[in-house]
Amino acid sequence: MWDSFPVNPGHVLVIPRRHLADYFALTQEEKEAIWHLVDAVGERINQDFRPQGFNIGINVGAAAGQTIFHVHMHVIPRYTGDVADPRGGVRWVIRARAPYWKDIE
C-alpha cells in the first residue's frame, strides 16, 4: 500500500492482514511473509523509482512513534540529496544521539 503521507516518492507500507499492534506478537510465519513482501516491494520500487538506498522500519509502541496501532513496515526509498547528510539513518529518531561518528572522528 502506498503511504498516504510519503517521506519520499515510492514510500510503501507492508501491512499484515491480522490486526495486531505489536510486531513482536506476530507469528514466525507472519514475520517471514512480511519480509518476503518487503523483498518484492523493494524490487518493484527499484524498477519504478531507481532509488540509491532504502530505510526499512517498524514503529512498535507509542514511545517509538507508532500512531497507527496495526503492525506495518515502512519501505522508504532514499535518493542522493534528499537530505543534506544522511549519515546515521534511523539513528535520527533520537536526535541528540544520531551523530555517533562525531565521538569516533
CATH number at residue 57: 3.30.428.10
Q: Is the pLDDT of residue 105 over 70?
A: no
Annotated catalytic, 19? no
What pLDDT shows up at residue 72? Answer: 98
- Which of 11, 70, 72, 74 is catalytic? The answer is 72
The count of structural domains within the chain is 1
Q: Is 23 within a domain?
A: yes
pLDDT, position 97: 58
Query: What is the greatest pairwise CA distance in the chain?
Result: 46
Mean of pLDDT over the chain: 91
Return the pLDDT at 90: 79
Range of the domain at 81: 12-99
- pTM to 2 decimal places: 0.87
pLDDT category at 87 given cuts 50, 70, 90 is: confident
Place of cell 516518492: 9
Helix (H) or strand (E) holding 53: strand 53-57
Report the distance separating Cα 15 and Cα 30, nearest Å: 10
Q: How far apart are the first and last CA of the chain?
A: 41
